[in-house]
A and B are shown apart, each in its own frame.
Chain A
Amino acid sequence: MNKVLVLLEHDGTTLRPSSGSAIGFARELSDEVTALLLGEDLGAIAAEAAKYAPVLTADHESLSQNVADRWAHVITEVARSQNAELIVATSTTWAKDIVGRSAGLLGGAMASDVTDHEITDGQLRLRRPMFAGAVNATLILEGSPKIITVCPSAYNAPKPADIPFLIETLSVDASTLPSATRFESLDCKKGARPDVTEAHIVVSGGRAFKNAEDFEKYVGGLADQLGAATGSSRALVDAGITPNSLQVGQTGKIVAPELYLALGISGAVQHLAGMKNSRVIAAINQDPDAPIFEFADYGLVGDVYKEVPRLIEELNGS
């Protein structure tokens, strides 16, 4: 695999840490990795990215918001002019939206949520979950360029280089950009805790928690003792108790922390899809037959309203 273009996600100020996974994956495949950043006023972000790979920036006021049709248009033009054979990003809603559309402009040879790969007989074989993670499929992509999003938990960011790589600014012709989509606002609830995809420990709560105050007190309280992120099942998101950015699962985020603590979560296949590759899984549930225990290393049968305060207290005292 020769030329690889890595698309990096950022929030206008810094790189999303999970972007490092895409660079890590790309590096395993090629020595010719270039990073691409889109946006406005990218100076500081580009400098951050240049620690990992040479950087191309499409820096223009018309790209100030990550609107899919515009961004995909620019990504496609850059991929073509760079003769990229492989385009990589970390699988997030951003990548699913924008990189997915770019793939639709570049011939559709795309694999999402890749968790592993190997090169056999010169072929890049990719592994990805299907059927809510009940099946692991091995596939190859036909055609070029190939577009791949990797699961953030599956690949690590490389070490930053001592001497930064070069940054090159591309020209953007705003008159050719699509204009059918207009960004209005983003209600970004950025809490003090790390993002669920980026934490070493995730404390997750399920339907056992009756309201947002309880969730914050018990799940949030335990997470803070452990320096952990909070996550939740869909049940709580649907009930309006937790924001959707906390949802772990087939249709939420896929996480694989060192420790996943499931509190009052039954262990539906759709939830398991998002966390079953965690290194250690522990569960507290009052139902001894809850399916979550089949996927846990340690289980405590009990009431979360009684057990979680004990955990917090012990951690607090130690």
Chain B
Amino acid sequence: MKILVPCKRVPDPDQKLRLNADATDIDGSAVTYILNPFDAIAVEEALRIRETAHPEAEIIAVSIAPAEGETDLRTALAMGADRALLIEHEGQIDPWNVARILAAVIHQEKPALILMGKQAVDDDANQVGQFLAAQLGWPQATFVSKIEFTTDGLRIHRETDIGIEIIHVTLPAVVTADLRLNEPRYASLPSILKAKKKPTEHSTPAKLGIKPEPRIRLLGMELIDSQRTCEKVTTATDLLDRLRESEVIE
């Protein structure tokens, strides 16, 4: 069984972002990148499947990023993925085109399972998994907190706004990971060194026969800072008084 795990590099959320000169994107020169936390969860789940239900599984990490993005694919390799594929692309790319590129990779690799993060914490779109499943005509299971293998597919727990939903999907399928699916492991030093020897293939959208057709045109960005100044009160009574003055409680 082949498991494909799309991996996105995203700016580390624990840093202050700056915008580029024309405010159309963040200033990438000043940014450190990490593997999208939800994608790390997807990698971890693939590893656990290989450790339990499917020891024969081959795990392929795929990223669409500039050439430097190889670093973040190395994270997936160091965690334990077997090989990596970097589709080199400079600049912004929207969920529709990411899904098209991934679909082209999937047509070549023919995995039985796509495990990916439910959203990337940069654009927060929460779209690629659904778009990809739609393009492939495969079933999807989004926001997943538990996966069990059955004789004919996967039994899945999904985290919805109103509670945990259980569904069953046949394979092949697209599964998107939520936070509580697992806690990703840290790569050990030996595995980081070993990952350096694992194969990373490079390709481009053009080589896959994809010419990006933008669906989202970003006109501008604005940094949001707090507009509030906090008035410190010293007692619970004072707090209630202030809230009454603001007419938010009676």
A-side residues, CB < 8 A to B, are 11, 67-69, 72, 92-94, 96-97, 100-105, 107-113, 125, 129-143, 178, 180-190, 195, 197, 201, 226, 234, 237-238, 243-245, 250-251, 253, 258-259, 269-270, 276, 279-284, 288, 293-301, 307, 310-311, 314-315
Contact = CB atoms under 8 A, between A and B. Distances in A.
A135 B133 contact: no
Interface stretch (B123-131, B184-192, B195-203): B123-131
A130 B221 contact: yes
Contact count band on B: 35 or more
Interface string B175-216: 000111000000000000000000000000000000001111
23 contacts: A11-B162, A67-B167, A72-B134, A93-B142, A97-B140, A100-B130, A101-B133, A101-B134, A107-B215, A110-B96, A112-B127, A137-B218, A143-B215, A180-B169, A187-B165, A258-B248, A297-B230, A297-B246, A298-B233, A300-B235, A300-B238, A300-B239, A307-B239
Interface of B: 11, 13, 17, 19, 26, 94-96, 99, 118-119, 121-127, 129-135, 137-143, 145, 153, 155, 158-170, 173, 178-180, 213-224, 226, 228-240, 242-243, 246, 248-249
Q: Rank and list the top 3 A-B pairs by shortest CB-CB distance, nearest first.
A: A104-B134, A108-B96, A100-B130
Contacts of B17: 131, 134-135
Given A101-B133, A131-B11, A125 B219 contact: yes
B176 to A, nearest CB: 9
Contacts of B218: 137-139
A132 B215 contact: no
Given A101-B140, A112-B125, A141-B215, A282 B131 contact: no
A280 B160 contact: no
A240 B159 CA distance: 14
A132 B127 contact: no
Contacts of B138: 180
Given A97-B143, A238-B180, A298 B242 contact: yes
A294 B246 contact: no
B127 A100 contact: yes
Given A133-B224, A138-B220, A244-B159, 4 more contacts: A69-B139, A92-B161, A142-B215, A244-B164
A100 B249 contact: no
A140 B13 contact: no
B122 A130 contact: yes
B122 A298 contact: no
B119 A251 contact: yes
A182 to B, nearest CB: 4
Contacts of A108: 94-96, 99, 127, 131, 215
Nearest to B162: A188
Contacts of B168: 181-182, 184
A245 B232 CA distance: 31
B93 to A, nearest CB: 12
